[in-house]
Amino acid sequence: MQKVIEVKNLSKVYGRRRARFTALKNLNLTIYKGESVAIVGKSGSGKSTLMHLLALLDKPTRGAIKVDGMDTAKLRASKINRLRNRSFGFVFQQFFMNSSESVYENVLLPLKIAHARCGNRKRLALDALKSVGLRERAKDKAGELSGGHKQRVCIARAIVNNPQFIFADEPTGNLDSATGEKIIKLLFDFNQRKGVTLVIVTHDEDLAARCDRQIHLKDGEIIKITKRKGTK
């Protein structure tokens, strides 16, 4: 199996002196191409902190993170930004959408940041919306959508650049169970059909059990790693 993310002795510390707080302690972890991984643990366990580090949205205090064999600590900020924009897709519990803009404009944003050719932008954005069943809502204002539809738009935005990774932080936290199930099916479809490496932060044990592996955190440490039943 191809290693796509390697973590060595990873630690994250916030604050100084009396305000010092260690969120993650000497973590070692490998994520493989095309697998689905759940990061699980109670509130305050460090799971969202770990995802932010894996997704290069934050820097570790100590330790190394390699993406496709590249030591990210040695990359310039501009290189990290390009890597994140072209290879990573993000789905968060908070939608982080511009409600006053259209659904189409929200999905288009990563393509603009990546300076994708104008001729391709419309096709890619509309194809992404079609894949989540919202092609007909492209011209609607994002603020007019239901929570479930907003999350679908976020998934379309996450996949519009054909990313290698999708990072999802509590992607169903604001949704009812039926709508949440539809969102999860979409995410696993991209994982299984396109080979996208899927990393999900969740406290939902049922969702975690559907992933190939579950990384269990407690007080900033990995206490165990389990595999989905039937996975070799």
pLDDT per residue as tens digits for the range 181-192: 888 999 999 999
User: Which residues in 141-160 are b (16+ Cβ under 10 Å) and which e?
Assistant: ebeebeebbbbbbbbbbbbb
The DSSP 8-state label assigned to residue 77 in this structure reads H
Which pLDDT does position 64 carry in this prediction? 96
E strand or H helix that includes residue 184: helix 177-194
Q: How many CA atoms lie within 13 A of 10 on its CB side?
A: 30
Q: Give every CB contact of residue 104 below 8 A, 6+ residues apart in sequence.
A: 125, 126, 129, 138, 139
Which pLDDT does position 230 carry in this prediction? 67
Which pLDDT does position 202 carry in this prediction? 92
3-state secondary structure at position 88: strand
- Checking DSSP bridges between strand 70-71 and strand 62-67, what pairing results, if any? antiparallel
E strand or H helix that includes residue 123: helix 118-131
Instruction: Judge residue 7's burial from the number of C-beta atoms within 10 Å of its C-beta, 0-12 exposed, 13-18 middle, 19 or more buried.
Output: buried
> Are 92 and 151 in contact, with CB atoms under 8 Å apart?
no
Question: CA 195 to CA 172: how far, in whole Å?
Answer: 22
Instruction: With CA atoms as reference, report the closest residue to 126 among 100, 153, 149.
Output: 153
List, edge to edge, every strand of the sheet that includes 36-40.
Answer: 88-92, 165-169, 197-202, 36-40, 213-218, 221-227
**CA-based end-to-end distance of the chain:** 12
Which pLDDT does position 172 carry in this prediction? 84
Q: Which residue type does 114 have?
A: A
Tens-level pLDDT at each residue, the chain (232 residues): 899 999 999 999 998 888 889 999 999 999 999 999 999 999 889 999 999 999 999 999 999 999 999 999 999 999 999 899 889 999 987 778 899 999 999 999 988 888 777 778 999 999 999 989 999 999 999 999 999 999 899 999 999 988 999 999 988 887 888 888 888 999 999 999 999 999 999 988 889 999 999 999 999 999 999 998 766 6
